[in-house]
Amino acid sequence: MEQDHRAASLQYWEETHRTQGYARDRIRVDDWLDRFADVIGQTDKPVLDLGCGGGNDTLYLIEKGKPVIACDQSETAIANIQKNFPEVRETHCFNMLDPFPFADGSFEVVIADLCLHYFLEKETMQILREIQRILLPGGHLIFRVNSVNDIHHGAGKGTEVEHHVYETDAGTLKRFFDEADIRRIFSEFQIEYVHEEIMTRYQFEKRLFRGCVRKAEDHG
């Protein structure tokens, strides 16, 4: 991400989290993680919620009794998490384009819900390498990303700066994936599940891919 995309993204999300700073009782949970209950249920380590935003998935995990580490680039999002979820003892404010502040092999489960579709392909792959690094062998990354079949894809949504990546009027980037993109970009992982579907958590239906990928076991 060139510096201006990065700065525009931070400004956009700070503003969004400032104006939508929900109280806990207004935060909506959807059941997309239920499919991966076995994966989430098996780990004794904290689950990492990347790009946690308002904390929809943080709340889901808390309700399942899981310790969560919540992260976002937005200080406002992190402050909201700390206010709404005193159970969350560890939060980190960092940009995923920078090295992640975790040691190698720290996690068995990383969740990245609607936060991996803001980058050029080489940036996305750099972020995925960091996720690989902080996962233990056999660990899982569970994610959702925009689909090319989403209503916001294409016409009228800014300039296409790279295949399936658009620059918006706000100066931010927005990527849309098809299944081939996912299989290519996540190819360093074992792809266990990828499925296109409609999410109804927002006011309008959103078409996206839900995925679960696994870091290879270490046989060395």
Residue of 92, 31, 24, 90 lying closest to 64 (CA atoms): 31
102 binds ligand SAM per the rule CB under 6 A? no
Give CA–CA dist 172/77, Å, rounded.
18
Q: Which is nearer to ligand SAM, 96 or 135 (CB)?
A: 96
DSSP 46: P
118 binds ligand SAM per the rule CB under 6 A? yes
61 binds ligand SAM per the rule CB under 6 A? no
Between β-strands 173-175 and 190-199, what pairing exists: parallel, antiparallel or unpaired? unpaired
Residue of 108, 150, 104 lying closest to 129 (CA atoms): 104
Q: Which is nearer to ligand SAM, 77 or 88 (CB)?
A: 77
Q: Which is nearer to ligand SAM, 127 or 213 (CB)?
A: 127
Q: Which is nearer to ligand SAM, 72 or 108 (CB)?
A: 72
141 binds ligand SAM per the rule CB under 6 A? no
Give CA–CA dist 207/200, Å, rounded.
9
* CB contact at 8 A, 198 and 137: no
Among 62, 72, 108, 176, which residue interacts with ligand SAM (rule: CB under 6 A)? 72
* CB contact at 8 A, 54 and 108: no
Q: Which is nearer to ligand SAM, 137 or 193 (CB)?
A: 193
Closest contact distance (angstroms) between CB of 178 and ligand SAM is 20
126 binds ligand SAM per the rule CB under 6 A? no
Token reading at 207:
């078409």
> Site residues (CB under 6 A) for ligand SAM?
9, 13, 51-54, 56-57, 72-74, 77, 95-97, 113-115, 118
